[in-house]
């Protein structure tokens, strides 16, 4: 989702941190393989000789940009992109993340603007320096692993440059808000699989000063409805944001059964089309898709001047 949102809204974003993620429009890699099947195979742990084709995906992205469905790709040329693939990750293999790196290079992102970490023996997870989290090589709920460094802070430092050390005691507020009000219609909200509530960390300095906003998309089975506050409170984003004038936005997705709702059993962000009315021609990758437009509306709200 981080890749998808970054490419779609590249004119307003300075970069992206992508943990075990495939390239933009990965689920549309094959004209003969359904989106959901491609998401679980080509974009996950594909068989030998099979992987996303970054050249083909970039051509599709250029077409989408010409149609106005996403921003002009020229905006990516100044982006900062952090990529991570764990050596023990069999959920999204390194060769898939390799193609994400190649996609950005083909899109014109300079080599020095890409940081690709792929030398840590980690399972499918976000990485922390918290001993109470899963061992580094494990792939298991809540997909938060102790590999002896705070990956969130590595991401923030690469995207935003030199930062002050993280706070030892948070100064700001962790807020809960109703994210359903950011949908254009009830239908969009219903099919989005997004939770009623989302979270926002606001440093004390941001109550009176202009601040950056960093969006954090949780992984599958990492929403608050599944693991409580573990993702948005313990992965290290808030501590570094607190001392560096950065607001952190944590939008939320939850699982849904697929009987009378979208088929999203693991509470993943939509990168294959479950939130679209027409599964044969889904629009999940566009700026107008229900999840994409809702998160963009949250950013627009944060950008409004105070009265």
176-200 pLDDT, tens digit each: 999 999 999 998 998 999 999 999 9
Locate tokens 């706070």: which residue? 167
pLDDT-based confidence at 214, cuts 50/70/90? very high
Average pLDDT, integer, range 221-233: 98
* Low-confidence winner among 81-85, 118-122, 207-211 (lowest mean pLDDT): 207-211
Average pLDDT, integer, range 25-33: 95
Residue 307 has pLDDT above 70, yes or no: no
- Spatial distance between the Cα atoms of 73 and 61, rounded to a whole number of angstroms: 8
pLDDT-based confidence at 258, cuts 50/70/90? confident
pTM of the model: 0.97
Q: Do residues 122 and 89 lie in contact, with contact meaning Cβ atoms separated by under 8 Å?
A: yes
Percent of the chain at pLDDT exceeding 70: 100
What is the average pLDDT value for the chain, to the nearest integer? Answer: 96
Q: What is the pLDDT of residue 172?
A: 98
Whether the link from the prior residue into 54 is cis, omega within 30° of 0, is no
Q: What is the pLDDT of residue 306?
A: 72
Ramachandran region, residue 273 (left: φ > 0; alpha: ψ -120 to 50; beta: rest): left
Q: What is the pLDDT of residue 98?
A: 98
């Amino acid at each position: 989702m981080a890749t998808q949102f970054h490419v779609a809204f590249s004119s307003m974003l300075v970069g992206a941190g992508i943990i075990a993620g495939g390239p933009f429009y990965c689920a549309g890699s094959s004209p003969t393989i359904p989106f959901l099947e491609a998401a679980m195979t080509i974009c996950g742990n594909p068989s030998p000789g099979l992987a996303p084709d970054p050249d083909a995906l970039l051509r599709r992205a250029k077409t989408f940009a010409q149609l106005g469905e996403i921003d002009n790709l020229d905006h990516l040329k100044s982006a900062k992109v952090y990529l991570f693939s764990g050596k023990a990750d069999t959920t999204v293999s390194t060769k898939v993340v390799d193609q994400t790196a190649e996609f950005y290079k083909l899109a014109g992102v300079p080599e020095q603007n890409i940081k690709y970490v792929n030398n840590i023996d980690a399972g499918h997870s976000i990485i922390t320096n918290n001993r109470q989290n899963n061992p580094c090589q494990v792939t298991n709920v809540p997909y938060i692993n102790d590999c002896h460094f705070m990956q969130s802070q590595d991401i923030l430092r690469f995207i935003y440059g030199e930062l002050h050390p993280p706070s030892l005691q948070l100064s700001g507020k962790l807020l809960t808000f109703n994210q359903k009000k950011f949908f254009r219609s009830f239908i969009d909200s219903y099919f989005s699989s997004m939770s009623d509530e989302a979270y926002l960390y606001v440093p004390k300095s941001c109550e009176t000063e202009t601040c950056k906003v960093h969006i954090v998309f949780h992984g599958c089975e990492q929403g608050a409805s599944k693991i409580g506050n573990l993702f948005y409170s313990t992965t290290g984003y808030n501590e570094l944001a607190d001392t560096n004038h950065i607001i952190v936005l944590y939008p939320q997705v939850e699982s849904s059964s697929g009987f009378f709702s979208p088929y999203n059993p693991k509470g993943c962000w939509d990168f294959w089309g479950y939130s679209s009315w027409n599964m044969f021609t889904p629009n999940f990758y566009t700026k107008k898709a229900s999840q994409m437009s809702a998160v963009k509306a949250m950013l627009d709200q944060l950008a409004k001047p105070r009265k």
